[in-house]
Structure formats: structure tokens, C-alpha cells
Amino acid sequence: MNTKRILLIDDEDDIKTLACFCLNSEAGWETISASGGMEGIALAESEQPDAILLDAMMPDIDGIQTLEKLQSNPKTKHIPTIFVTAKAQASDRRRFYNAGAKGVINKPFDALTLASQISGFLGWQQN
């Protein structure tokens, strides 16, 4: 079985803990996490995850800037990125999709459907 590896970039520890637990228990996925954009970019380069969950609002660089840096890097531009955000206005969503996001998941997210939402956005089969 091919286990997915998800990189979660979020400055809120509670969100990271919950998401990591859910993805592991619901889908059996491995998770790695970063507390900010720059740390997340470095981890994406070194760990080569199957997908990235990215918070829109973070203290060092925001989600859009992080995604732009990921997409301009040959080592990370192929990794699909999904925003996880409380900023879910239509205009925000358009900005995220225009920046290259594969999906947008609202915070607070439903812990029981998080893995299936990610699979849906990325066209992954779930066991």
C-alpha cells in the first residue's frame, strides 16, 4: 500500500495536532508539520510530501507568498497545495485558486471528513 505523506504548514499547534491525528487515524497517512512558511518550504524540499496543507494567515510569510515560493522552486513546484483557512470569502478563494491552490478547506474543518476532502481535491482513491 502506498502511504501518502502530507506536509501541514500552520502556526496553530492545536490545528496541526488535530489534523495530523485525523489524517493518520482516518486514512493512515503520514504527516509532517511546520509552524511557518519558510520552515514549510524547507521541509517540502527535503521531505517531498505528496501534498501540502497550507494555512493562509501566518506570522512570517502568508500562505499566498509561501505557495508562490513553493511554485517557483523546481524541487517543490509539482507538490499539490490545499489551503486550510478561516478566510473563506469568495474573493479569498479566487485568490487562492489563482495562486495555484488545488483546493480550499474551511477552518474549523470537520475532522472526520478531512482526509476525504483532500482525496477529493487531488483525485486520490481512498481505501
Q: Is residue 81 part of a domain?
A: yes
Q: Is residue 127 part of a domain?
A: no
Q: Is residue 38 part of a domain?
A: yes
Phi, then psi, of 14 in degrees rounded to 5? -60, -40
Cell reading at 29: 497517512
Sequential DSSP letters for the chain: ----EEEEE-S-HHHHHHHHHHHHHHH--EEEEESSHHHHHHHHHHH--SEEEEES--SSS-HHHHHHHHHTSTTTTTS-EEEEES---HHHHHHHHHHT-SEEEESSP-TTTHHHHHHHHHT----
State how far Cα 26 lies from the chain centre.
16
Average pLDDT in the 106-124 region? 94
Cα end-to-end span (Å), the chain:
10
Note the pLDDT of residue 59.
Answer: 87
pLDDT in tens, 15-67: 999 999 999 999 999 999 999 999 999 999 999 999 999 999 998 899 999 99
Cell reading at 19: 489534523
Average pLDDT in the 83-94 region? 90
Q: Is residue 29 part of a domain?
A: yes
Q: Is residue 125 part of a domain?
A: no
User: CATH number, domain at 81?
Assistant: 3.40.50.2300
Q: Is the pLDDT of residue 1 over 70?
A: no
Q: Which domain holds residue 114?
A: 5-120
- Band of pLDDT at residue 118, cut at 50, 70 and 90: very high
Q: Is residue 126 part of a domain?
A: no
Count: domains in the chain: 1
Spatial separation of the C-alpha atoms in residues 7 and 41, rounded to whole Å? 10
